[in-house]
Amino acid sequence: MNRFTKLLSTLFFCLTLLNKTSAQEVKHCASTEMQQRVWDTNPQLYKDYLKENARLEVIDKAAYTNRYKNNTRGTGPVYIVPVVFHIIHEYGPENISDAQIKDAVRILNEDFRKLNADTATIAPASFKSIAADVEIEFRLAQKDPNGNCTNGIDRIVSSQTNIGNDGSKLNPWPRANYLNIWTTAAINNSTTGSSGYTYYPGGSPSAAVDGVIIISNYVGSIGTGTARLSTDLTHELGHFFNLNHVWGYTNTAGVTCGDDGVTDTPITKGHNNTCSHTDQTCTAGVIENDQNYMDYSFCYVMFTEGQKTRMRTSITGTASQRDSLWTPTNLQNTGISLPAVLCKADFQSSNTTNTVCQGSSLTFTDLSWNGVPTGRTWSFPGGTPSTSTVQSPVIQYTSAGTYDVALTVTNSSGTVSATKTAYVTVNASTGTYANAFYSEGFEGAAIPNTSWRINNKVPDGNTWIQTSVAAATGTNSVRIVNDSSYDRYIDELVGPSVDMTKIIGANPTLTYKVANAQKASTGLGSADKLQVYVSTNCGLTWVLRQTLTGAALSTAGVNATWSQPASASEWVTKTTSLSGYTSQTNFYFMFRFTSNGGNNVYLDDINISGTTGIKEEIASNLDFNVYPNPAEENAIIAFTLLDKQKVNIKMYDVLGRVVSSVFEGNLNAGEHQYPITAKSSLSSGVYFIKLRVGGESFTKKLIIK
């Protein structure tokens, strides 16, 4: 049986095996599954793949004869490939740094050029003699498809980072000009444990999804990456240039002896996280190449000369336009063959939130690219010093507020500048509010303002705003518009600093009124989340105090079309304990909303107060209210009981006479409402509603117009 016939047998065996793979099996690479799905829907692509492999079989045999047996291995040319990394993220750890991406490119070039130091570990000697310098190199693009300057890193904010399939391959650059690599937080393609996948040459369902997609922590060896996982990208690019796994076209290492169609890679079952360098399982007397990048051994350090031939044949072939990547014209159009031009000024601070306490310092770092600056001019309004010319200046901020930062960099290629507006937030070192209690009803200045600020974690124009559409009391509240397009988006509403030592009473609480309805009871729209965080270090770090998710957040049940509260009963008071923070002179609190694509969320009547006894404890949970107030026709008395209580409600005039005995009796726990018909039975004037619960009395004033 010749090698091509054996390859066909392996391919057809794989079609059966893939259907029997256990759902719990660990698969490091999903290329075979994803490729098979495409072939199942497009048999012609599968036929083209077999035809291409037949061509490679002839070339591989000729190369083996001419190069290996006759010891006439040629060198060059070195094929240079322009690369763009599309970082799909939601501002989490999946938003890996430029440095981590550059480290990944370094590793790729070491692996493909046989510059990796661990080639010294190759065993036995017979494999060391055929370890190949593939003579393919990768460079980050310096020009984008429109001819603009780029660093070859394209950052895209999208919840697709949590999906990781072809739909997550956003903003593809033309595959004829760029190798597209997408990084995501997850790979979710019905395979368990996969780190990434790609399509073989000619196997992609469309040009727009041709390239590699890989989990972000498998990229590079620094940051969130590790040295052990960093070569998975090398593995995927082996598939991109038409290499199979060393055991053949399956994703089941260690199961069945197979052949990858390459002359100098021995038949093998493959190895899952194991390395012996002596394995002869498939052919007696023939040691298997467990250090090959296309194995699953995780001790891989090499490609063979045969694999080199196969990849170089692929990159010079027309399948999927691989042959256009390295042409001189394309290298010039993508900026690869041009001198590095200083084309963008950029920087970051030492705190990812760019937040600092009054009197403290931040360190700024120049991140400008692509050329190396020979001169810098920093501007720090509100900072000390206010200007600098060093690469990483340390700036102190002595006054609370928000401040711009600007940087101008220059070298022989030119000058570029960047200004980031309101980039630094300096929080007061003592509480802005130092009263017996704190209260906010959003009736004043629109947010953000001097007291309230917004962190829009996924800048999309949609975040917390002041609105007059609905209010628990008064005319305004704050609202965040929410629907399926915002799934997984995060928006934070940060309140002012409070001197908690001035709050009267023990066991202080944060109370607020919220209105929301679940869009669905399960699935998308069912799990919107509102959380309360607090900080004692000017917002540098936050501590979670309360989480309301789904039904616990909803105040109006499940309603797919709900957009705003229809009645006062849809406003519900929530309480967060602030016990343990009474000694803090600079206390911050924050509402964080995480969308699950549900309905709008409203907040109003935010209060921080202390309690001094049983009456205050009852009051903090009672949510006793009379509305509307003033009233023209009807009013509602509303309150909430935490447990069964004897209740008495009476209405008095200004002379203390009983106007109406509204209710007397026992009530169960829950929300309760009683109407007052004002227009027909009461004259204009001032009245008092007295609510007696658990032996304690509470009074509200009501004005009848």
Catalytic residues: 236
Helices (H) and strands (E) in the chain, counts: 10, 35
Residues 6+ apart with CB under 8 A from 421: 404
**How far, CA to CA in Å, does 603 sit from each of 290, 453, 471?**
60, 15, 8
Instruction: Name the β-bridge partners of 408.
Output: 377, 417
> Following DSSP, what letter does each residue of 182-247 receive, concatenated?
EEES---SS-SS--EE---TT--S-GGG-SEEEEGGGSSSSTT--TTTTTHHHHHHHHHTTPPBTT
Residues 6+ apart with CB under 8 A from 113: 133, 134, 135, 136, 137
Tokens of 259: 């052949």
* CA 464 centroid distance within chain: 20
Spatial distance between the Cα atoms of 402 and 410, rounded to a whole number of angstroms: 27
Our CA angle for 22, 210, 19, nearest 5°, is 20
Tokens of 198: 């790609």
Spatial distance between the Cα atoms of 614 and 697, rounded to a whole number of angstroms: 12
**Among 385, 355, 370, which residue's Cα sits nearest to residue 538?**
355
3-state helix, strand, coil in the chain (%, to 5): 20, 30, 45
Burial level of 173, CB count in 10 A (0-12/13-18/19+)? buried
> Following DSSP, what letter does each residue of 263-285 receive, concatenated?
TTS--B---BS---S---SSSTT
Type and span of the H or E element at 532: strand 529-535
Our CA angle for 436, 532, 549, nearest 5°, is 140
User: At 146, is the secondary structure helix, strand, or coil?
Assistant: coil
> Following DSSP, what letter does each residue of 344-360 receive, concatenated?
E--EEESSTT-EEETT-
Three-state SS annotation for 91-140: CCCCCCCHHHHHHHHHHHHHHHCCCCHHHHHCCCHHHHCCECCCCEEEEE
